[in-house]
Amino acid sequence: MSGKSFFVDLTKCTACRGCQVACKQWKKLPGEKTRNTGSHQNPPDLSDVTLRVVRFSEKEIGGKMHWFFLPDQCRHCLDAPCKSGATLPDSIIVDPDTGAVIYNEKTAKESAEAIRSSCPYNIPRVNKKTKVISKCDMCNDRVKAGKLPACVQSCPTGTMNFGDRDAMLALAKKALAEAKAKYPDAQLVDEESVRVIFLTQDKPGLYAKNLMADAGPTGPRLYTRQEALASLARPFRAFLG
């Protein structure tokens, strides 16, 4: 059983933000009080109530305008580095059927900062008041009931795909081959290590700093990129035991 995965084809994302709202609708998460700061990316970042956010990045390359869109979310790593930031064995659980990395009531007992800083993708967010740490749970409830995650169902263009990991990997490889014709620099991001496989049309860094696993400790992180990837590379089956 290799669980589930997302395949996210960024060549097709229009940043309609249907996924950003569909996530909040399903989970009934509140909207945030924001201001326009000169960008369409809003809320400006992930938060404990914004578990996915569409990142907007404008780049002019060789005189040609590009607008890169990244619906950012937890990658549900095959061997989740955030587990290394936890002290209790079951405060971060992995659903054996789907592979969803799920925070639960015991996660609250952990050091939120330790968990947060161990994520190579800078995803988990801590509620300032309650110190509760949050992130995407793969809509594990929906998935177990045979539905698509809310974000995937809401996607109009085929950017967000979800299914058995093997099928998603195959889809990703096929899509990469097709994308190469139009975008020679297209690539898959960390596809062997994560359950949210992004296909970029250009270098991942053009989308956002943390689209690819963090290149090195930029803050009080427990993991370097090398360490994180070494950890990620462990065979998934072995991890599940």
Partner 1 sequence: MTNHWIDLKNSDCILIMGSNAAENHPISFKWVTKAQEKGAKVIHVDPRFTRTSAKSDIYAPLRSGSDIAFLGGLINYILSNDLAFKEYVLNATNASFIVGSDFDFKDGMFSGFDEATHKYDKSKWKFALDEKGVPQRDMTLQNPRCVYQLLKKHYSRYSVKNAVDMTGTPEDKLLEVYKTYAATNKPDRAGTVMYAMGWTQHTVGVQNIRSMSIVQMLLGNMGVAGGGVNALRGESNVQGSTDQALLFHIIPGYMPTPTTAQPAIADYLKLVAPVSNDPKSMNWKKHYPKYAVSLIKSFYKNAEPAVGYDWMPKLDAGQNASWLVLFDEMLKGKFKGFFAWGMNPAVSGANSNKTREGLTKLDWLVNVNIFDNETGSFWQGPGMDPKKIKTEVFMLPCSVSVEKEGSITNSGRWMQWRQQGPKPLGDSRPDGEIMFELAQKVRELYKKEGGVFPEPVLGLNWEDMGGEHGFDVHKTAKLINGYYLKDVEVKQPDGSMKVFKAGTQVAAFPALRDDGSTCSGNWIYCGSYVDSDPAKGNRSAKRSKEQTPAQAAVGLFPNWSWSWPVNRRVIYNRASVDATGKPYAPQKPILAWNGKGWDIDVVDGGGNPGTVHPFIMQQHGMAALYGPGLNDGPFPEYYEPLDCPVSEHPYSKVLHNPTALTFKGEKRAVCDPRFPFVCTTYRVTEHWQTGLMTRYQPWLLEAEPQMFCEMSEELAQLRGIKNGEKVWLENERGKLWAIAIVTKRFKPFIVQGNIVHEVGIPWHFGWRFPKDGGDSANLLSPSVGDPNTGIPETKAFMVNVSKAKKA
Partner 2 sequence: MKLSRRGFLKLSAAAALSTAFGGIGFALKPAALDRIAMLKPDWSKQTTTACCYCAVGCGLIVNTALSGAKRAINIEGDPDHPINEGALCAKGASIYQLAEGTPGQPNPRLQKVMYRKPYGTKWEAKSWDWALERIAKNIKRDRDATFVTKNAKGQTVNRCDGLASVGSAAMDNEECWAYQAFLRSLGLVYIEHQARI
Beta bridge partners of 197: 7
Residue 150 CB, nearest approach to partner 1 (Å)? 12
State in angstroms the smallest separation of the CB of 86 from partner 2.
Answer: 14
Cα 133–chain centre separation: 16
Q: Is 170 left (phi over 0), alpha (psi -120 to 50) or beta?
A: alpha
Compute how many other C-beta atoms are within 10 angstroms of the C-beta atom of residue 89: 9
Distance in Å, CB of 138 to partner 2, minimum? 8
Q: Which residue's entry shows tokens 């045979």?
A: 146
Which of these, 138, 137, 121, lies nearest to 208 by C-alpha position? 121
Confirm or reject binding of residue 200 to partner 1 (CB under 8 A): no
Residues 88/109, Cβ–Cβ less than 8 Å: yes
The answer to whether the CB of 225 falls within 8 A of the CB of 232 is no
**66 to 105: interface string for partner 1, x by CB under 8 A:** xxxx------------------------------------
CB–CB of 216/223 below 8 Å? no
- Residue 128: name its binding partner from partner 2, partner 1, none (Cβ under 5 to 8 Å by kind): none
* Minimum gap (Å) between residue 214 Cβ and partner 2: 21
Which residues lie near partner 2 (CB under 8 A)? 16-18, 20-22, 25-31, 48-49, 51, 100, 102-105, 107-108, 130, 132-135, 137, 140-142, 144-145, 147-148, 150, 153-156
By CB under 8 A, name the binding residues for partner 1: 12, 14-18, 20-21, 24-25, 30-40, 42-43, 50, 58, 60, 65-69, 156-158
